[in-house]
């Protein structure tokens, strides 16, 4: 009996050690062992991260992650994993994806969950409403039903701003942007609050007449790629890849692929310049 107990304890200790070693394995070690680089992306965050009608991952930020995949070498295969907006950081923490390639805003609370790369884009929240009912400030939302993507900094900004200004409105969280747009079309909400570029892409691709996008930004967001915490080697590879894209000017072709030939605005140009870190 005593020998059996000792063997059981030894086996348990060995299994615990193996689990601990696996949990502590770096992202690069895991990628090299499996030969697979798991890229998390979103179904409907166009133009940054989305699934095409043919079921293919696409978008500006997805293209940045393809550059990271190339930096890992030809022996590594990219695997694309759809992640819901409200579970995307958990997917990184739990190792279901190696990198999150979507318009994730960098915040201090989020940095308690994941690490972030160098910035990838600057955007901000705007409002889509019916033509003839322009929304120019938060006060214009008084008495309105407002759709917003659940679990995002955009939702928090909306709720905080309405509360601080004592604006009474009904906030209706949705699970994806297309659902929010459909609610607006079906008159179930009066306005939809989301990142400006995402709203613009959905509006102009979907042939939805009778709606207008506010000219104002209601917040400013700095996007970056989310990574596992405390994994300096992988973050260095990701940051080096982004810095080289910025420094070489190759980022302009990647931007043009998604946003067309319109030059980046001054804020985005400044972000690219500041993060064109030297490599020597």
User: What is the b/e burial string over 117-143, where b = at least 16 CB atoms within 10 angstroms of the residue's CB?
Assistant: bbbbbbbbbbbbbeeeeebeebebbee
The dihedral formed by the CA atoms of 164, 165, 167 and 169, expressed in degrees to the nearest 10: -40
User: What is the b/e burial string over 198-236, where b = at least 16 CB atoms within 10 angstroms of the residue's CB?
Assistant: bbbbbbeeeeeeebebbebebbebbbbbbbbeebeebbe
**How do beta strands 191-195 and 125-130 pair?**
antiparallel
**How many C-beta atoms lie closer than 10 Å to residue 175's C-beta?**
14
CATH, range 26-122+222-274: 3.40.190.10
Name which of 254, 238, 203 is nearest 61 in CA terms. 254
pLDDT at position 178: 85
Contact between 192 and 147 (Cβ < 8 Å): yes
pLDDT at position 23: 43
On the question of a common fold for 26-122+222-274 and 125-213, the answer reads: yes
For domain 125-213, which architecture applies? 3-Layer(aba) Sandwich (3.40)
* Residues of the chain predicted below pLDDT 70: 1-24, 205-208
In the chain, domain spans: 26-122+222-274, 125-213
As a whole number of angstroms, the distance between CA 63 and CA 252 comes to: 12
pTM: 0.78
pLDDT at position 62: 98
Q: Is the dihedral of CA 172, 178, 183, 189 positive or negative?
A: positive
Q: Is the dihedral of CA 109, 78, 84, 23 positive or negative?
A: negative
**How do beta strands 170-174 and 191-195 pair?**
unpaired
Model confidence pLDDT, tens digit, residues 31-83:
999 999 999 999 989 899 999 999 999 999 999 999 999 999 999 999 999 99
């Amino acid at each position: 009996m005593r020998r059996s107990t000792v063997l059981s304890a030894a086996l348990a200790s060995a299994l615990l050690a193996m689990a601990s070693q696996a949990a502590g394995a770096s992202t690069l070690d895991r990628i090299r062992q499996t030969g697979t680089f798991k890229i998390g992306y979103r179904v409907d965050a166009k133009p940054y991260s989305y699934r095409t009608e043919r079921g293919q991952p696409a978008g500006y930020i997805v293209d940045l992650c393809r550059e990271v995949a190339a930096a890992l070498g030809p022996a590594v295969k990219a695997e694309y994993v759809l992640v819901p907006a409200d579970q995307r950081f958990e997917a990184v923490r739990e190792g279901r994806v190696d990198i999150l390639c979507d318009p994730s805003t960098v915040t201090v609370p989020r940095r308690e969950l994941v690490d972030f790369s160098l910035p990838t884009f600057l955007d901000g929240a705007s409002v889509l409403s019916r033509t003839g009912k322009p929304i120019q400030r938060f006060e214009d939302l008084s008495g309105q039903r407002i759709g917003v993507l659940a679990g995002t900094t955009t939702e928090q900004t909306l709720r905080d701003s309405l509360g601080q200004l004592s604006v009474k409105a009904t906030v209706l969280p949705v699970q994806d942007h297309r659902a929010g747009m459909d609610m607006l079309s079906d008159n179930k909400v009066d306005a939809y609050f989301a990142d400006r570029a995402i709203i613009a892409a959905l509006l102009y691709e979907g042939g939805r007449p009778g709606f207008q996008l506010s000219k104002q930004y209601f917040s400013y967001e700095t996007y970056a790629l989310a990574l596992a915490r405390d994994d300096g080697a992988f973050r260095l590879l990701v940051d080096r890849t982004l810095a080289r894209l910025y420094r070489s000017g190759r980022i302009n072709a990647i931007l043009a692929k998604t946003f067309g030939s319109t030059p980046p605005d001054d804020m985005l140009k400044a972000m690219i310049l500041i993060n064109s870190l030297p490599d020597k």
